[in-house]
Structure 1
Amino acid sequence: MSTMYAALLRGINVGGHRRVPMAEFRALLGELGHEDVATHLQSGNAAFRSASGDEDALRAELERAIEGRFGFPVDCVVRPGGYLADVVAACPFPAAELEAKQLHVTYFDKPVDTARFAPLDAEAFRPEEFRLGDRALYLYAPDGLGRSKLAAALGRPALNRGLVATSRNWNTVVKLVEMTRD
């Protein structure tokens, strides 16, 4: 039995740096033995089918292969399609009423708890808000991510030490669910 997964690459193809062309990324996934490979946008989103049931092993395999092919390390988060659908279903914000640029999900490589973000005075950032989910953080930023002071605060290295974290806007979150549906 095989499963559809999404691979979310962190920090590639930004400002012409750390270039990972999507055609080469798709080819690499195929060379690793994965099937039904597709990518979305240029920011490192891929869907693929694998017989592996171990997302951590898939992540490690993919990170090694990317570094070997492109010559630099890239952190990845790999999640099965069912998990992605659960993230959408559990959204604590009214996604249907918001513009996609106002809602983002940060995917973490492992569970996080509220204590990690306790030093942050969330009230100081209103009307922006965040909520934690299962290895995910939901961010409501009414003026978009680029203007979000809360996003900048959440991205501080002290809050993310020891984590791999990568964010996607709501349109991409929903598209990844569609791409990984069995």
Structure 2
Amino acid sequence: MILITYVAFLRGINVSGKRKVPMVELRAMCERLNLQDVKTYIQSGNIVFKSSIVKAKDLAILLHNEIKKHFGFDVPVIVKTVDGLSQIIEKNPFISQEDIAANKIYFVLLSSQPANELLENLSEETFENEEYAVIDSCLYLKCALGYGRAKLNNNLIERKLKILATARNYRTMNKLLELCNQ
């Protein structure tokens, strides 16, 4: 049996005391689903694991359904292969080491490629102190004032692109890639 390494990104858990998901419980739940070598990283919902299931979308549905059953609330889940994660990081157009060190670079992972018409509509808007680029199923975001003050935040992106999304900073993405390769 061939095992593929994946990363699952959960959206909106453990924020402001809402939708609490203890990482120990989340790992145990994943192991009951026969996911292998399960690791979590920080409380915001990042799971690295191996599985023989070959479709990331099938794993996203499996995790979503099990989280709903186990914890009692809906949590959007986006799953990427380690190769997919690596490509997302490599395609990042915002490579200034100064911006990276200042935590100004974010990856907004999209559940699929957005419709061209919606991307065009978004491109007509301006977001002061923010730059972005959409490449495949990731919106790369540079926030001069930090993500906490960004107008182009996750909720707005989901609304404008009519798609599920979840954001992670540059450091988190690289740490997840490192965990995948251990």
Same fold (TM > 0.5): yes
Amino acid at match of 1:27: A
User: Over residues 38-62 of structure 1, what are the superposed CA-to-partner deviations in whole Å (9 max), with x where a residue is unaligned?
Assistant: 0000000010011111111111111
Distance 1:68 1:28 in 2: 11
Name the structure 2 match of 1:148. Answer: 150
Distance 2:62 2:56 in 1: 10
Taking structure 1 as reference, are residues 52 and 119 closer, same or farther at Cα in structure 2, changes over 3 Å only? same
Partner of 2:64: 63
Measure the CA separation in 1 of the matches of 2:16 and 2:42.
15
Identity of aligned residues (%): 34
Q: How does 1:23-102 map to 2 (within 5 A)?
A: 23-98=24-99, 99=101, 101-102=103-104
What's 1:169 paired with?
Answer: 169
Displacement of 1:178 after TM fit?
1.0
Q: Which runs of 4+ in 1 moved over 6 A?
A: none
TM-score, normalised with respect to structure 2: 0.91
State the superposition RMSD in angstroms: 1.9
Q: Distance in 2 between matches of 1:125 and 1:157?
A: 16
Aligned partner letter, 2:41: H
Shift of 1:134: 1.9
* CA 1:4–1:65: 2 relative to 1, 3 Å: same
Mark the CA change 1:142 to 1:122 in structure 2 (over 3 Å): closer, same or farther.
Answer: farther
What are the superposed Cα offsets for residues 95-115 of structure 1, whole Å, 9 maximum, x if unpaired? 533235200001111112553
CA distance in structure 2 between the partners assigned to 1:17 and 1:158 by the alignment = 21
1:158 aligns with 2:159: yes
Aligned to 1:11: 12
Distance of aligned partners of 1:100 and 1:80 in 2 relative to their CA distance in 1, 3 Å threshold: farther
Query: Which consecutive unaligned segments of at least 5 residues does structure 1 have?
Result: none
Measure the CA separation in 2 of the matches of 1:101 and 1:113: 29
User: Deviation digits for residues 63-112 of structure 1, max 9, x if unmatched?
Assistant: 11101100111110011011101111111111533235200001111112
Secondary structure of 2:25 counterpart: helix
Tell me which residue corresponds to 1:116: 118
Report the secondary structure of 2:122's partner residue: coil
Q: Is the 8 A contact 2:158 2:165 kept in 1?
A: no
Distance of 2:141 and 2:8 partners within structure 1: 21
2-structure distance, mates of 1:89, 1:174? 10
CA–CA distance in structure 1, aligned partners of residues 164 and 63 of structure 2: 14
